[in-house]
Amino acid sequence: MLFYIGFDDTDTAELDRGTGRLARMFEDRLPENARLVGVVRQQLPVIDGIPYTSHNSSACVIVEAKSPDMRDTLIERAIEHIAEHFVEGSDPGLCVVGEGHPVIPAVVAFGRTCCRRIVTQKEALHAVQGAHCSGHGGTNDGIIGAVAGVGLTVHGWCGRYIEFGRLRDFPESVPVGDLEGAGISVMAVGRDAMAPSADDLVHTGGWLRPGRFAYRPVVMVHAGADGSWEIFGGKMKKRADSG
């Protein structure tokens, strides 16, 4: 069974790491009969009236557990994880939803609403009622991003993976077949783009962060000058490691 664990607003502008790294570190707290499927960063709007640390993103940890009874353990460990790693002055929030939960349609709708306008804690709590949502400091505004992060990740068509298998171990140039063998699809974009061959090289620039499309990691590429493929989009300059 899959669980979606959303974290948000656990850092401050002075910190050298972001919520994305905190979410990735949660793998170390997983119980024995659970495994990390991936961690997905979700972008939320940067508009007047929404407080944020750097780029207004939240993170959702996807965990596969052998039993739905592990829900309470995951919640307990996530709360402990926030308590250990959040920074005073932040407004941490947590959301945990299991796959198939009846609240999922409302949580997905809430996540998509967050991408177009300012929302409130009240709206977040209403969307997720019946599943777990909790604030752990400051204004507790992090619950908004935590619920939105879960909703957008469950939606399956947005965000980018900041952790998936050995994602961070690939060299700067990697064969398409190696990526596919690791469960990462490669999709060429462009008007006349052809399908990449297994032996073709993808130049990652040392930064490989697949998008989440059709509920799985997908690397979008465009043709390079030498017949290889270049990653579509690249790393942003930022204050902290959020992904």
Give 104-114 pLDDT, tens digit per residue. Answer: 999 999 999 99
Rounded to 10°, the helix 104-114/121-128 angle is: 150
Strands (E), 44-131: 57-65, 93-98
- Which pLDDT score is estimated for 128? 97
Residues 6+ apart with CB under 8 A from 60: 4, 5, 6, 7, 23, 39, 40, 42, 149, 150, 152, 153, 159
Element (H, E) at 155: helix 142-155
Strands (E), the chain: 2-8, 34-43, 57-65, 93-98, 132-135, 160-163, 173-175, 185-188, 201-203, 211-213, 216-223, 229-231
Q: Domain residue spans in the chain?
A: 2-161, 165-231
Residues 6+ apart with CB under 8 A from 76: none
Give 127-148 pLDDT, tens digit per residue. Answer: 999 999 999 988 999 999 999 9
Average pLDDT of the segment spanning 162-173? 95
Reading the block at residue 241, the tokens are 């490691």
As a whole-number percent, the residues of the chain with pLDDT over 90 amount to: 75
Q: Which amino acid appears at position 123 of this protein?
A: E
CATH topology of domain 2-161: Alpha-Beta Plaits (3.30.70)
- Which pLDDT score is estimated for 12? 63
Give 21-69 pLDDT, tens digit per residue. Answer: 999 999 999 999 999 999 999 998 776 655 555 567 899 999 999 999 9
